[in-house]
Amino acid sequence: MTLPITVFTTKKIITMNDSQPTATAVAVRDGKIVSVGSLEDLKPWLEAHPHRIDHTFEDKVIMPGFIDPHLHPFLAATTLYGHTLAALEWRLPWGTFPGVRGKQAYLDCLKEALSTAENPDEPFFTWGYHHLFHGHVVRKDLDQISSTQPIVVWQRSAHEMIFNTAALGYFNLTAEEAGDHPQINYEEGRYFEVGLIGVGFPKLAAFVFEPKRYLDGTARNIKAIHFGGLTTVADLSFGVTNPDLEWLGPKEVLDDDNVPFRVYHVADVKSQSAKLGREKALEWVESLPERNSHRLRFLKSIKLFADGAFFSQYMQLRTGYIDGHHGEWMTPPETFEELARLYWQAGYKIHVHTNGDLGLDLVLDTLQKLQDERPRFDHRFTIEHFGYSSADQVRRIARLGAVVSANPYYLYELGEKYAQLGMGVDRASAMSRLGSLERMGVPFALHSDLPMAPGQPLLLAWVAVNRIGSEGNVLCPEERVSLHQAMRAITIDAAFVLGVEDEIGSIESGKIADFTILEQDPYKVPTEQLKDIPIWGTVFEGELFPIEK
């Protein structure tokens, strides 16, 4: 039996198909797009098949479902489940969290929040700390707030944690185990990068992934993702801590007919190679598609890490930092190249976390070697984050056929601060060199890296188009992108980066019926208002999902 067709009519459909850029009606059957155009264009279908006309969106604008090709469902579920205390305001579906600046103000707010904790014996987690906004907070500062209740300050990048003495004891983090690890400062209670991922976090896993806490956080995370009008997201580090515990949230909460988006998963092979050995880790990656379901799917892609976090100023820079500190390697360069070669030769698409121009040199040098050894066409080797780069590197990315998935929110939150502390005006203002990518014809997507930025694609597009910092200054206007390119970067080009552009990303016959429903036309409002366009909700595989008000 042929299912009936539903036709959604609207004042405008922005298809992101440059051959047919706009329409006013789209026909959907069984979750797929049958045809798009005007009602007159759809007549052959409607005369041949039973159908109904749905006028729900008559006064709205339909776009392809927004795509975030790089976020972390488990990390957002755990960080945002705790107390949010950051430098800038965060607007989330369950509340607005004002920003705070200065060390004493930060500690005062933290003390006040701790006083309202329901269980004084349970570890208190707060996320959003950044030393350039909040001063140098260490163990002794937290001990002055409480010497009995465990306090864990999760740094804004999520690549660092600071523990008070009670928390070190609670999680059995010892000086002997820390030893002389270069990415642990036990006296200050600081565990960062590999020191956190490899030494600290395994001790926290049982608490962080306690089923009720983790599943409640995952359920809350659904609202945060839907709030941004997203219909597809990609988890870009599956298995970074504990694959079995991480999988609990997707399997129990996200794989449900009431969830209005799908999740593509990309495995972190660095962590698993360290635990299992490289060949066993490859076998593990090859087994992951056995978990695939309708809403959850593992891509034939893997994730590698080069240099450190941008929010922590651990990225590796060619010229270094003003204050003389140095960045960090998340993967030793020789190990990075060996892992990249293993998965390149196995035919996997490679995504690489890299943030500084020296880190990007390592990544591009490795890609050049891999191409010389075993050429691959349409490999879509992806530069993830793309914090700071040079003009010569953009040209090199284009020559090597790589693509970029960028986090433009770096520029908004950190551009003006890093200009004065760490990088200098010239480098800081040129973060997220997206205009150069557009001019060189390099495909790129925009991502939130949630919880590094809100999972709100219109906000990310607003930053890319306007390049306005959090203090209101325009930073390197030459690196602005066109509005159309920004819209592509959250729809069809995001799908291209993930390798699923044949399924989603534009409104065309045969593709999945995923739509984001806007109250205003992004091509008609002033670009300064792009982030403020209200989102009605989404259509996911033909089903309507309004955003809860």
Q: Is the peptide bond before 546 cis (omega within 30 degrees of 0)?
A: no
* Whether residue 34 sits in one domain with residue 80: no
Q: How many CB atoms lie within 10 A of CB 421?
A: 17
Q: How far, in Å, CA of 297 to CA of 62, rounded?
A: 26
Q: Is residue 18 part of a domain?
A: yes
| Best CA proximity match to 448, nearest among 384, 528, 539 | 384
Q: Is residue 277 part of a domain?
A: no
- The predicted pLDDT at position 224 comes to 93
Instruction: Using the 3D structure, point to which of 182, 208, 234 is the last residue of a domain.
Output: 208
| Best CA proximity match to 193, nearest among 324, 337, 359, 339 | 359
Q: Is residue 396 part of a domain?
A: no
* Whether residue 115 sits in one domain with residue 89: yes
Q: How far, in Å, CA of 404 to CA of 352, rounded?
A: 10
* Whether residue 200 sits in one domain with residue 96: yes
* Whether residue 51 sits in one domain with residue 102: no
- The predicted pLDDT at position 10 comes to 98
Q: How far, in Å, CA of 409 to CA of 459, rounded?
A: 8
Largest distance between two CA atoms of the chain: 77
pLDDT, mean of each 10-residue run, the chain (549 residues): 90 97 98 98 96 97 98 87 87 87 96 90 93 95 97 92 97 96 96 92 90 90 95 95 90 96 97 94 98 97 96 95 95 97 98 98 98 97 98 98 98 96 97 98 97 95 98 97 98 98 98 98 98 98 93
Measure CA of the first residue to CA of the last residue in the chain; give whole Å.
38
* Token pair of 282 as six digits: 């490859």
* Whether residue 103 sits in one domain with residue 44: no
Give the DSSP H or E segment for 280: helix 278-287
| Best CA proximity match to 215, nearest among 121, 81, 92 | 81
| Best CA proximity match to 221, nearest among 92, 126, 98, 409 | 92
Total count of domains within the chain: 2
Decide: 467 and 476 in contact? Cβ < 8 Å.
Answer: yes
* Whether residue 124 sits in one domain with residue 44: no
* Token pair of 195 as six digits: 């020191």
Q: How far, in Å, CA of 281 to CA of 272, rounded?
A: 6
Q: Is residue 441 part of a domain?
A: no
- The predicted pLDDT at position 97 comes to 86
* Residue 529, C-beta contacts closer than 8 angstroms, at least 6 positions apart: none
- The predicted pLDDT at position 467 comes to 98
Q: How far, in Å, CA of 479 to CA of 516, rounded?
A: 27
Per residue, the 3-state secondary structure of 384-423, as one string, reads: EECCCCCHHHHHHHHHHCCEEEECCHHHHHHHHHHHHCCC
Tell me the three state secondary structure of residue 525.
coil
- The predicted pLDDT at position 120 comes to 86
Strand partners, 53: 7
> CATH number, domain at 193?
3.10.310.70
* Whether residue 79 sits in one domain with residue 201: yes
| Best CA proximity match to 151, nearest among 178, 174, 120 | 120
* Whether residue 189 sits in one domain with residue 78: yes
* Whether residue 143 sits in one domain with residue 30: no
Instruction: Using the 3D structure, point to which of 181, 208, 235 is the last residue of a domain.
Output: 208
Q: How far, in Å, CA of 348 to CA of 344, rounded?
A: 6
- Over residues 11-46, the pLDDT tens digits come to 999 999 999 999 999 999 999 999 999 999 999 999
Give the DSSP H or E segment for 545: strand 543-546
Strand partners, 129: 155
Instruction: Report helix, strand and coil shares of the chain as percent, to nearest 5.
Output: 40, 25, 40
Instruction: Using the 3D structure, point to which of 166, 192, 208 is the last residue of a domain.
Output: 208
- The predicted pLDDT at position 1 comes to 56
> CATH number, domain at 519?
2.30.40.10
Phi, psi of 174 (to 5 degrees): -110, 155
Distance of CA 220 to the CA centre of its chain: 17
Distance of CA 344 to the CA centre of its chain: 23
Q: How many CB atoms lie within 10 A of CB 368?
A: 13
Q: Is residue 477 part of a domain?
A: no
* Whether residue 85 sits in one domain with residue 51: no
Strand duo 51-54 + 90-92: pairing: unpaired
Tell me the three state secondary structure of residue 249.
helix
Decide: 494 and 403 in contact? Cβ < 8 Å.
Answer: no
Helices (H), 290-448: 333-345, 357-373, 391-400, 409-420, 425-429, 434-440
Q: Is residue 200 part of a domain?
A: yes
Q: What domain range includes position 197?
A: 73-208
- The predicted pLDDT at position 325 comes to 94
Q: Is residue 35 part of a domain?
A: yes
* Whether residue 3 sits in one domain with residue 83: no
Q: Is residue 68 part of a domain?
A: no
* Whether residue 51 sits in one domain with residue 23: yes
